[in-house]
Structure 1
Amino acid sequence: MSNEKEKMMKKGKKNRNRWLHLRLSEEEFKILQKYFEESLCPKLSDFARLNLLKKPVVLKYRNTSLDDLMAELIKLRAELNSIGNNFNQAVKKLHSQSQVSEFKVWIMSFETDKKMLFNSIGEIEIIIRNLAEKWLQS
């Protein structure tokens, strides 16, 4: 190889003008496709090139138990938001009927429960957000 070509390759320029034609059986192609999908390579040609040149290929890795946990936590977050919204609507409705003194007493006594509920929802959302960030990085 000439010095000029070596310099170009070292600089990262990729002047790919050579074709490699390769025939595969259906089974071989399925295997290649499976491994490609498990990699982080954006194109099949990139994946094949890295393998042919014996360069490292970065593979995707997912912790399935963490995936399952995230699915459940997402459902829990949606359910908690729904409960919080329903609770808030009920309290607003009771506030609109403030002419009845019994409702006022109920509203005042449950205001503390409302604050506790929303604090708990906030804490759970923070935990879910932190777990989601860890999950996305895995």
Structure 2
Amino acid sequence: MESKENRKTKRVTIRLSKAEHEQIFKKCKSSTCRKFSEYVRLVLLGKAVTTITRDGSMDEMMGEIIKVRTELSRIGVNTNQVAKRLHSLTQINEFREHLQHQDEHNEAVRSALEEAFTVINKLSDRWLR
């Protein structure tokens, strides 16, 4: 609770155009201030306002990571389907055919993992700069 000295009892009213209000509100949203009044008070008193900045350069990299993660998820689902199918086989010819498909699937997994490592290495290099 605030002491009597720091209690906010005085009110200041100003008029702004819609554009001015939106501009100030946008700056407030990019700051660490929880309330609009807190932001305006700091600005009017000439005190430092801490702002939050977002690194947009990572957007493209995050898009690549999402794609790789989705592909790995699909490959995992396919692996589960193949495993279930292999457990249900009764004839040798069917088994050989499915083993060949499993080898192809394993190659797809290797390829996706290599792509994932490439993306992760790019992220690491960018992060460490």
Tell me which interval the TM-score lies in, with the shorter structure as reference length: 0.5 to 0.7
5+ residue gaps, structure 2: none
Instruction: Please identify runs of 4+ aligned residues in structure 1 that moved more than 3 A.
Output: 102-111
Q: Report the AA paired with residue 41 of structure 1.
A: C
Instruction: Tell me how far apart the structure 2 counterparts of residues 14 and 107 of structure 1 sit (CA, whole Å).
Output: 76
CA shift in 2, pair 1:109/1:27, >3 Å? closer
Q: What corresponds to 2:67 in structure 1?
A: 75
CA shift in 2, pair 1:14/1:35, >3 Å? same
CA shift in 2, pair 1:76/1:108, >3 Å? closer
Does residue 100 in structure 1 map to residue 86 in structure 2? no
Q: What corresponds to 1:91 in structure 2?
A: 83
Mapping 1:1-138, distance limit 5 Å: 8=3, 14-97=6-89, 99-105=90-96, 107=99, 110=102, 114=106, 117=109, 124=116
Q: Report the AA paired with residue 100 of structure 1.
A: Q
5+ residue gaps, structure 1: 1-7
CA shift in 2, pair 1:32/1:109, >3 Å? closer
Q: How many residues align?
A: 115
Instruction: Tell me how far apart the structure 2 counterparts of residues 17 and 34 of structure 1 sit (CA, whole Å).
Output: 26
CA shift in 2, pair 1:40/1:71, >3 Å? farther
Residue 108 (structure 1) shift: 9.3
Task: Compute the TM-score of the two structures, normalised by the length of structure 2.
Answer: 0.66
Contact 2:82 2:102 in 1 (8 A): no
Contact 1:95 1:107 in 2 (8 A): no
Instruction: Tell me how far apart the structure 2 counterparts of residues 109 and 78 of structure 1 sit (CA, whole Å).
Output: 21
Instruction: Tell me how far apart the structure 2 counterparts of residues 51 and 89 of structure 1 sit (CA, whole Å).
Output: 61
Paired residue secondary structure (2:7): coil
Task: Compute the TM-score of the two structures, normalised by the length of structure 1.
Answer: 0.63
RMSD, matched Cα = 3.5
Paired residue secondary structure (2:41): helix
